[in-house]
Structure 1
Amino acid sequence: MSALDLTLLLILFASIVALLWPFLFYPLILRALPTKPEALRAGAAPSASLLFCAYNEAAAMPEKLANLAMLKCLHPDLEILAFDDGSSDETAALIAAEGDLVTLIRGPGRSGKAHGMKQLAARATGDVLIFTDANVMLDERAIGNLLARYADPQVGGVLGSLHYMGEGDSATASVGSLYWRIEERLKDEESRTGNVLGADGSIFSIRRSLYPVFPDSVLDDLTVSMAVVFAGARLVKAKDVIARERLVAGRGDEYRRKVRIAARAWHTHQHLRPQLRRMGALDRFKYASRKIIRWFGGVFILTGGLAALSLALRISPLLALAAAFFALLLLMLGMRAKSGPIAALTDILIAYAATLQGVMKAMSGRTVTIWNPAKSR
C-alpha cells in the first residue's frame, strides 16, 4: 500500500469516526461516567413566570391558550407573559382577548425571538423563568415537576423533555423524530453526569437571578441556558417535565429552519467563546462533542466521500465512475421519494447540508434575527 493510499484511508476513517462521534462514541463515553446526584429537599416551590414569543401563530393559539388556562388553573400564582413579534395575522388579538390569563407585550415590528424574550424577562417577577414556544403544549404536571427540581440549591436551570407528534407524516418528520430521540437520550446522560450543555426553546427554565445580557443575534435558548453553567450552578434535565410539539413535515421548511438555527448557533458560539474556555474539562468535552463536531458533519461527509472516491479511482476509474453514478442516482431517487429508507437517507444528508450552510453563512458574517413558523407542522 502506498503512502497516498494510507493517507486516503486515514482521512476516510477519521471522517467516519467524526461523523459517528456525537451519536455513537460520545454516548458510550457518557454512560461510562459516574452519576452526579441532585440534593433534592422538601420545601415550598419557587414562584415562576412562563414566557413565550409568537409570530403569526394564530392557528396554534386556541390550543395554546387552552393549555395555558389548564396550567394556570393548577398553578394560580403562575405569571404568564407573551411577546408578539409584529404578527400580521390574528395572533396578538387572540392573546389580548385572554388578558386575565396572559400579559401581552407587543413588539414594534419584526425584532426577533431573542429581543422578545429579553423584553419578557425584564418584566417577569417569578423567581424562576420558564421558557417555551408558541406551538408547544405542556403536560399538566410539567410546571410542578419542573419547580420541584429547584429544591436543590445547586440547580440553576431545568430542561424538560420534548415529545414530538406526527412522526409518520413524512420521511422528513421520521428523521426529525429519530434525531430528537437521540438528542433527548444524550441530554439525559449529560444531566446524570453533571450538566446538560445547552437547551432548546421548547421547555427550559432558569433562576431569574442568572438571566444574562446578550445581543439579539444569538440563540437565546442556548445563551440563557449556558449562563447557568457559567455561573457554576447545575443545568439538569427532568424526564417528567413533558412538552409536546408537531414535527416539521416539509423538506423546505426543515431546511430553512436548520440553516437559521445553525447560523445563530455559530454566532452564539462566538459570543460565548471566552466563557466556554473557562468551563471545566468535562463540560468542554461535552460541548465540543454535542455542538461543534455536529455542526461540521457536512464537512466530514464531503471529505470522507472525496477520500473514498479517490481510493476507488486508484483501484479502477470504472469503479469510481460506477460508484459516483450510483450515489447520484440514489440522491435523485431520494429527492423524489416521500417515504422509505432512501428518502430518510436523503433527509439526513439534507440536514447536514443545511447545518453546514448555516455555519458557513454565520462565519462569513451574516446572521438571522427573525423567524417564520413552519407551514408543514
Structure 2
Amino acid sequence: MTDLWLGALLLVSLVATLWPFIFYPLILRTLPTRPEQPVVGPVPTASLLFCAYNEADAMPEKLANLAMLKGVHPTLEILAFDDGSSDGTGDLIAAQGDLVMLIRGPGRSGKAHGMKQLAARARGDILIFTDANVLLDGQAIDNLLARYADPDVGGVLGSLQYIGQDESATASVGSLYWRIEERLKDEESRTGNVLGADGSIFSIRRSLYPDFPDSVLDDLTVSMVVVFAGKRLVKAKDVIARERLVTARKDEYRRKVRIAARAWHTHSHLRPQLRRMAAIDRFKYASRKIVRWFGGLFILTGAVAAGALAMRVSPMLYMVGALAVALVIWAGVRTKRGPFAALVDVLIAYAATLQGVAKAMTGRTVTIWNPAKSR
C-alpha cells in the first residue's frame, strides 16, 4: 500500500509539473474558436505609457523607437514616469521636448504607483502599457488599435520577442519559456480570453482602468479588469515588441522572486472577482497561473516520492540515483551553457517562483524594482 501511495504521489506531481506546458495546451486546442466581430467606426486615439528607473543605458534606443512610432502614428500621446532615477534617466526623457510628457516621482514609489499617475493624465481612448527597455515595431500601434473595431474587445496584448537567447543558458531557458507562454496566449485568445498580461506590451480601453493599491502587480490587475467587465482580452500576433533577455542567474532569480510575490499578492486582491468569472476562464487561470506558481512544490514532492520508492526497491539504487542527480546539478551550476546548465536554470526558476509565492503568503511583497544589470 505504501508503494501505491508513493507511486500515486509521484504521478500526480509529474502531471501537475507538466500540466501548464503539455496537458493544458492540448486541452485548449480542442476548444472551439471564438471569432471577433469588427464593425466599421472611427479609429480610437491612444496613449502610450511607461515607467522607468535607472534606465539611462536603454533610454537612447527607447527614445529613438518612440520618435519612430510618433512619426508613423502622429496622434499618439506618450507619457513616462521617472521613479526617482539617480542616473539621469529623467533628464534624457525631458530633453526630448514634446515627444514625451514626463512625470517625475518624488522618490521610489514603484511601477504600479507610476502607472496610475500616467493613466490619470492620459487622454487617449486606449491606454497602451509597455516597459522602458521594450521596443515596438513600426506598425504595432496601428495593428493594435485595429483590434478595437470589435466593441466586445476591451483589451489587447501584443507579442513579445526576446533578443539574446544564445548568450547564456539562463537566457536560453527564458526564451524557451516565453515562446511557450506566447503560444498559450495565442490559444487562450482564440478560444475567448487571455488570462492576464505582462508589462512588455498590452492595452485596455481607458474607461475600464481600475483603482488598485500600489502593492499589486499592475499589469495583471489592469488586464484582468477587462475579463471582470465582461469584455474580451485578446492577443494580437502582429503587434510585435522586442526585449533583451536577462543573462545572469542572480538577476533572473531576483526578478522571478519579485514577480511571483507580487503576482500572489495580486491574486489575493482579485480573489473575489476571480471567483465570479466564467468556468472556462477560471480553468484557464488556474492552469496557467496557480498550478505554475506551485511547480517548485510539485517537483520537490515528486523527488521525495521517487527517492522513497527507490529506497524501498534498493538502497543502492537510491544512492546511485541521488549521486547522479547531484552530479548533474553540480555540472549545471559550474557551466553557463548546455543541457545541464539549462536544467539548473529551470530548477532555479521554479525555486524562485515558489519563494516569491511563500513570501507573499506571509504578507510581504515588493513595490519597487531595479533593472537587471545583465540585460
Q: Fold conserved (TM > 0.5)?
A: yes
Amino acid at match of 1:287: Y
- Distance in 2, matches of 1:168 and 1:274, equals 42
Residue 11 of structure 2 corresponds to which residue in structure 1? 13
1:145 shift after superposition: 0.2
Which residue, 342, 348, 354 being the options, matches 1:344? Answer: 342
Inter-partner Cα distance in structure 2 for 1:99 and 1:232 = 40
Count of residues paired in the alignment: 375
Aligned to 1:166: 164
Match in the other structure for 2:127? 129
Match of 2:85 in 1: 87
Identical aligned residues as a percent: 79
Q: Distance in 2 between matches of 1:62 and 1:39?
A: 40
1:326 offset after TM fit, Å?
A: 1.4
Residue in 1 that maps onto 2:237: 239
Match in the other structure for 1:279: 277
Residue 119 of structure 1 aligns with which residue?
Answer: 117
Q: 3-state SS of the aligned residue for 1:204?
A: strand
Q: TM-score, normalised by structure 1?
A: 0.99
Distance 2:50 2:243 in 1: 14
Instruction: Tell me how far apart the structure 2 counterparts of residues 299 and 319 of structure 1 sit (CA, whole Å).
Output: 24
Asked if 1:295 corresponds to 2:293, the answer is yes
The one-letter amino acid of 2:309's match is L
- Cα offsets for 1:299-352 (capped at 9, x unmatched): 000000000000011011121122112111111110111100000011000000
Structure 1 equivalent of residue 183 of structure 2: 185
Q: What is the CA deviation profile of residues 122-158 of structure 1, one whole-angstrom value per residue up to 9, with x for unaligned ones? A: 0001010000000000000000000000000000000
* AA at the equivalent of 2:319: L
Aligned partner (choices 1, 4, 13) of residue 2 of structure 2: 4
In 1: Cα distance, 2:209 partner to 2:348 partner: 35
- Structure 1 residue corresponding to 2:220, chosen from 222, 235, 244: 222
Q: Cα distance, 1:41 vs. partner?
A: 2.6
Whether 1:258 aligns to 2:256 is yes
Secondary structure class of the residue paired with 1:167: coil
Residue 319 of structure 1: which of 317, 320, 323 is its match? 317
**AA partner of residue 228 (structure 1):** V
Q: Deviations over 1:88-127 (max 9, x none)?
A: 0010000000121000000010000000000000000101
Structure 2 unaligned segments of length 5 or more: list them: none
State the alpha-carbon separation in 1 of the partners of residues 320 and 88 from structure 2: 55
- 1:200 is paired with a residue whose SS is coil
Match of 2:361 in 1: 363
Q: How big is the shift at 1:42? A: 3.1
**Where do 5+ consecutive residues of structure 1 fail to align?**
none
Please report how far the alpha carbon of residue 262 of structure 1 lies from its aligned counterpart in structure 2 after TM superposition.
Answer: 0.2
Partners of 1:195 and 1:294 lie apart in 2 by: 19
- Alpha-carbon distance between aligned partners in 1 of 2:85 and 2:98, rounded to the nearest angstrom: 21
Write the deviation string for residues 41-74 of structure 1: whole angstroms up to 9, x where unpaired: 3332101100000000000000000000011111
User: What is residue 29 of structure 1 aligned with on the other side?
Assistant: 27
- The runs of at least 4 consecutive aligned structure 1 residues that moved more than 4 Å come to none
